[in-house]
Amino acid sequence: MAEATLTSNRLKGLGGTLAKQGILIAFIVFMIGFALFSEKFLTSGNVMTVIRQAAIVGVMAIGVTVVVIGGNLDLSVGSMLSFSTVLVVDLHDKIGPGEAIAVMLVATLVLGALNGFLIGYLRLNSLIVTLGMLSAIQGLTLIYTGGQNVDISHQDTTWFAVFGRGQVFGLPVPILIFAVVAVIVHVVLAYTPYGRRVYAVGGNPMAAVFSGIRRNRVVACSYLISAFCTGIAAVILGSRVMGSQNNVGQGYELLVLAAVILGGTSLLGGSGSVLKTVIGVLILGFIQNGLLLLGYAYYVQWLVTWVVIILAVWLDVAAKRGRLFSPIA
């Protein structure tokens, strides 16, 4: 520990500041770079489009941030998104939009509760449990629809359209939802007893229990939050597309995780924040959009993401460590 005390001051000055704000700087560099090469990039229309597109990943990533700060992983959010979107779209015509959203949220929370029970109460490894749930929920979705696409028939008349397509005060509703969810979860994490407990459980689960914190419940709740956010993302997605395929959320779990990591939330738990995740989400979104505008094939963005993730996390780790390179021999 003494070691950490000594070295934490090491990367002081400009280098340290740069390293600590690495992700923000990367963000700015990217924005400037893209803006120089594509005049369309920084138009308000494009910026709105990118954030609107990023809202779905963003809302989910905010939920997953809570799970990760609590020291766990959630890989099931991708297929949960498929499940929830299919459910809300399918029920929309059958029981009406409001009811559909309510039923979908309850069903999604049940899945989240199952995750929470297995990981929080039974103490099973979160990576493997959510991997299993990834597969199982995808299967459930397919069984529910029998593999058929689901669609909303009267797209132009339903008020359900507002979530994905509407505008309030000139701002697209998905962006507003994204912002509201970010603010709420940020407040929960930073200013409520529950938030404090999440950090404690993620930072040192044993010490948290020895302080009388009900770790089981804290962890289980983090999965409920994650599921709830996924449910909200499903509303945006369903409303935006007005239909859903059974695999619509496939691969989202990794995008979401990449965004959380990019933001600098540690996979070890106990540190991180919603605001960082929001930046991570936006970076991914703007990289994707910028490269597309520059005319690069879509797969180039994967290569860029690789480099960005490693550089961003490296800088973050280096700032905490106080040295650029790891001291391991």
Partner 1 sequence: MTKMIQKSVAAGVVASGLALAGGAQAETMTIGITQNNVGVDSYQTTYEKAFIEAASKNPDVKTIVLDAGGDVARQIAQMQDLIQQQVDAIIIWPTNGKAVVPAVRKANQAHIPVIVTNSNIAKEGQEFIASFSGPNNITQGAYSAEMMCDALDNKGQIVQITGQPGYTTAIERQKGFEDRLAEVCPDVKIIESQPGDWNREKSQRVMEAFLTKYDDIDGVYAGDDNMGVGALNAAKAAGRKDIIFIGATNFSVGYEAMARGEYYGSIYQSPVDDAKNALQTAIDVIKGKDVPKMNYFDTPKITQKNMDQFSKPVF
Partner 2 sequence: MSIMNKSSAARLWRQVVRHPIWFFVLVIFIFFSLATDHFFAFHNFQNILVQTSTIGLIALGMTLVMINGNIDLSVGATLALAASLAVDIQGWPVFESWGDWAMLPAVIAALASGIMLGALNGIIVWKTGVNAFIVTLGAMLGVRGLVFIYTQEQSFYAMNFAYSDFGSSAVGPLPTLAVIFLVFTVITHFLLARTVHGRNTYAVGGNRDAAVNAGIRVGPHMVVNFMIVGFFAALAGVTLSTQMGASTPNLGRDYELWTITAVVLGGTKLTGGAGNIIGTLGGVLAIGILRNGMNLMQVPAFYVLVILGTILIAVLFLDKQVNRKEDGELRV
Partner 3 sequence: MNAFDTALRVQGIVKTFPAVRALDDVSFDVRPGEVHALLGENGAGKSTLMKVLAGMHRPDQGRIFISEEPAILHSPLEAKRLGVVLIHQELSLAEQMSVAENIFLGELPRKNFGMVDWKKLYADAEAILQRLNCDFGPQTRVEDLSIAKKQMVEIARALTVEAKAVIFDEPTASLTDQEKEVLFDVIRDLQAQGVGIVYISHRMEEIFRISNRISVLRDGTYRGTLETVDTNEDEVTRLMIGRSLDTSRGGKVVSTGPVVLKVENLSCGDLFENVSFSVQAGEVLGFYGLVGAGRTAIAEALFGLRRLSQGKVVLNGQEITITSPRHAVEQGLALVPESRKEQGLVLGMSCRDNMTLPQIGNLTTGPFVSNGGEIAIFDRYRDLLSIKTPGWRQLVGNLSGGNQQKIVIGKWLAMRPKVLIVDEPTRGIDVGSKAEIHNLLRELAADGYAVIVISSEMPEILSVSDRIIAMYRGEITREFTADEVTEDNLVQAISGLS
* Binding-site member from 51, 57, 111, 118 for partner 2 (CB under 8 A): 118
Question: At residue 293, what is the residue type?
Answer: L
Closest CA to 72 of 111, 41, 33, 116: 116
Closest CA to 51 of 227, 213, 193, 236: 236
Closest CA to 181 of 79, 63, 67: 63
The gap between the terminal CA atoms of the chain, to the nearest Å, is: 20
Closest approach of partner 1 to the CB of residue 241, in Å:
5
CB-nearer residue toward partner 3: 7 or 53: 7
Query: Would you count residue 328 as binding partner 2 (CB under 8 A)?
Result: yes
Question: At residue 120, what is the residue type?
Answer: G
Sequence-distant (≥ 6) Cβ neighbours of residue 74 within 8 angstroms? 63, 64, 67, 68, 115, 126, 130, 223, 226, 253
CB-nearer residue toward partner 3: 144 or 194: 194
Contacts to partner 3 by CB under 8 A: 1-2, 4-10, 12, 187, 191-193, 196-197, 199-200, 203-204, 206-214, 270-271, 322, 329
Query: Would you count residue 241 as binding partner 1 (CB under 8 A)?
Result: yes
Stretch that binds partner 1, among 2-10, 60-68, 242-250, 270-278 (CB under 8 A): 242-250
CA distances from 57 to 145, 190, 277 (A): 24, 22, 11
CB-nearer residue toward partner 2: 110 or 303: 303
Which of partner 1, partner 2, partner 3, none is residue 214 near (CB under 5 to 8 Å by kind)? partner 3
Instruction: Report, in this order, helix, strand and coil percent for the chain, each rounded to 5.
Output: 75, 0, 25
CA distance 236 to 213: 35
Closest approach of partner 1 to the CB of residue 48, in Å:
10
Closest approach of partner 1 to the CB of residue 317, in Å:
32
Which of partner 1, partner 2, partner 3, none is residue 226 near (CB under 5 to 8 Å by kind)? none
Query: Would you count residue 293 as binding partner 1 (CB under 8 A)?
Result: yes
Q: Which segments of 9-96 does DSSP mark as H helices, in order?
A: 13-20, 22-37, 44-69, 77-95
To the nearest 10°, the Cα dihedral for 208, 209, 212, 213? 60
* Binding-site member from 170, 193, 295, 327 for partner 1 (CB under 8 A): 295
Question: Coil, strand or helix: which one is 299?
Answer: coil
Residues that bind partner 1 (CB under 8 A): 38, 40, 43, 45-46, 49, 53, 142, 145-149, 151, 153, 165, 237, 240-248, 289, 292-293, 295, 297-298
Residues that bind partner 2 (CB under 8 A): 75, 118, 122-125, 127-129, 131-140, 142-143, 147, 205-206, 209-210, 215, 254, 257-258, 261, 267-268, 297, 299-303, 305-307, 309-310, 313-314, 317-318, 321, 325-329
